[in-house]
């Protein structure tokens, strides 16, 4: 799988997982996703499971730490960091995707309530939410 295909697959999986959480909970707390270099074996990490009372910042830090440990253990071809982002009255699904060769940070604005929330067209954000963690 080339870098472009790996990036696209990781983005798709991360966006779909984020949408499921958005519909179920109305928001997306920070979580991480890893895929192997072939684009297989997606693994998610939801820090809220281990840290039920943690703040958004603490959940973000835990997600980043988990992704860094995963990268250090080897066998990681791509990562994603996904969370709700808010600015004033606007909300969006932030998705940072990285492969060894590239990185991308998109924000999908969303509207609606509960299960009727829908994503708008993605906007490319300048820079990254954090990092880079995997790409150089």
Report residue 85 CA to chain centroid gap: 11
Alpha carbon 98 to its chain centroid, in Å, reads: 10
pTM value? 0.90
Q: Give the pLDDT of residue 59.
A: 95
- What is the pLDDT, as a whole number, of residue 40? 92
pLDDT value for 42: 93
- Distance, in Å, from the CA atom of 52 to the CA atom of 125, rounded to the nearest integer, reads 29
Q: What is the mean pLDDT of each run of 10 residues along the chain (136 residues)?
A: 93 94 89 95 93 94 95 92 89 93 93 77 86 77
Distance separating alpha carbons of residues 30 and 72, to the nearest angstrom: 20
CA 5 to chain centre: 17
- Report d(CA 72, CA 122) in Å as an integer: 30
């Amino acid at each position: 799988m080339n870098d472009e295909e790996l990036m696209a697959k990781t983005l798709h999986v991360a966006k779909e997982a984020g949408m499921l959480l958005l519909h179920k909970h109305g928001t997306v707390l920070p979580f991480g996703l890893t895929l192997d270099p072939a684009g297989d074996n997606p693994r998610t990490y939801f820090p809220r499971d281990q840290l039920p009372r943690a703040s958004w910042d603490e959940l973000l830090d835990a997600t980043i730490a988990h992704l860094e440990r995963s990268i250090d253990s080897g066998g990681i071809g791509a990562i994603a960091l996904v969370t709700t982002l808010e600015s004033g009255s606007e909300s969006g699904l932030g998705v940072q995707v990285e492969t060894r060769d590239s990185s991308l940070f998109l924000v999908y604005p969303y509207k609606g309530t509960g299960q009727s929330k829908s994503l708008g067209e993605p906007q490319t954000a300048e820079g990254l939410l954090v990092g880079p963690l995997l790409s150089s």
